[in-house]
Every structure is written in C-alpha cells, then in structure tokens.
Chain A
Amino acid sequence: DAGVTQSPTHLIKTRGQQVTLRCSPISGHKSVSWYQQVLGQGPQFIFQYYEKEERGRGNFPDRFSARQFPNYSSELNVNALLLGDSALYLCASSVVRSGFTYEQYFGPGTRLTVT
C-alpha cells in the first residue's frame, strides 16, 4: 500500500507570497495532521482534520489555514510568508476508530524556503 504522499517536495517562495502544500493520506485513513519542523527542532503541531472538520489547532497565526477534501486529502495554506516560515512541513495520517486516534504515519514532507 502507498504511504502518505506530499507535494511538492521542495518549494522556494519570496516573502509576502502565498503557498499551498498538498497531502494524500494512506488509503483508509480519515485523519490528517500537519506539522512544521524547523531545522534542528522537533515537529510542531499545526492542524488536525478528521472527516473534513478541524479537530485541533496548534499555536500558529491565522496566516496558516487548512482544509480536508471528501477523499480525505488535505491542503495547508500559508499566506503572507515570512522568512521564519522556512521549514519542513510534514503531513501525517491516521486511523480513527471508536473515537480513538491511532499512531500517525508521516509523509516525506515539503521543504519550504522563503527568501
């Protein structure tokens, strides 16, 4: 079975621009989460979506938004990019059964560089 896929792999943007990152979960996984990993740090939680609804939001500004589509794929949007948004953006998918979220499986990430 295919794992979590993310696109694009790498992206270079200029300050002030907007970016959209995409994620396709493992087949059968209905929950998608987004994390930001700055170089040398652990991943930081941004959003979780389950059944197309936002179920959790981390401590990120409103410039960050996301959505989940009927096929459970997801997009993360970041507006008005800042240099500090340069990071590896990781998507994870998981199974939810009886209200419990099982372990999250991560994709390869999108490396965003803001210049």
Chain B
Amino acid sequence: AQKVTQAQTEISVVEKEDVTLDCVYETRDTTYYLFWYKQPPSGELVFLIRRNSFDEQNEISGRYSWNFQKSTSSFNFTITASQVVDSAVYFCALSESTGANSKLTFGKGITLSVRP
C-alpha cells in the first residue's frame, strides 16, 4: 500500500528565512508520481509540482525548489526567502497509477506560518 509521511506538523519562520518541508513516501511500484499542493486559508488546493519516479533531477521554480531522492524515498520542498503569502498548509501526495485511475494519497500536511 502507498503511504505519505509528513513528520513536521507545524513550522513557524520569520519572513526571508529559508524553510524546508519534508516528505517521505512508501510504494511498491517502480513507476509513481509525487506532487506538492498548497492549501491557503481559502481551502482550495493549489497544484505546485509533479515529479515522475524515473526523473530524479531537482527542480527550481523561482523561490521554490524540490529535492527528489529515490534512495531515501524523500521528496522535500524548500522555500527560499519566505514571504507572508507563503503561509498555508502544504501537502505532499503520491500516485501509483499511470492509467486513467490516478488516486492521490496525501500526507497529513504541514502548516507553515511566516511572520513579518
């Protein structure tokens, strides 16, 4: 069975600090997909990134970067120079299917608070 663990529950930082959100996953499949979503107070989940299991290249998008390491089954997310607008709950998710059935398994989420 697939499982996603986000051991950190709440993180509080001061604006402009860097912060890393951890994600560890379990799956028996050799092909799978990892995701990060952001959920601001409004409640809507915002898609941030999708990573395929066969592509271990790290990715950077502006202040966001992701570190994927299959050897440790981790897919960590770093926000550089955090801003108040980054305050939200962040979810890591896993999908094992490559077909039309694409169930997402989510972690419990990490609440990030960025203080001015």
A residues engaging B (CB < 8 A)?
Answer: 31, 33, 35, 40-45, 48, 50, 55-56, 58, 88, 90, 92, 94, 96, 99-109, 111
Contact = CB atoms under 8 A, between A and B. Distances in A.
Interface of A is mostly: strand
A90 B44 CA distance: 8
Interface of B: 4, 35, 37, 42-47, 50, 91, 93, 95, 97-109
Most buried by A among B46, B95, B101: B101
A42 B106 contact: yes
Given A41-B109, A42-B108, A100-B98, 8 more contacts: A42-B4, A43-B91, A58-B103, A88-B43, A94-B102, A99-B98, A101-B95, A104-B47
Contacts of A58: 103
Most buried by A among B43, B97, B100: B100
Contact of B100 (A35, A42, A99): A99
Contact of A103 (B47, B103, B105): B47
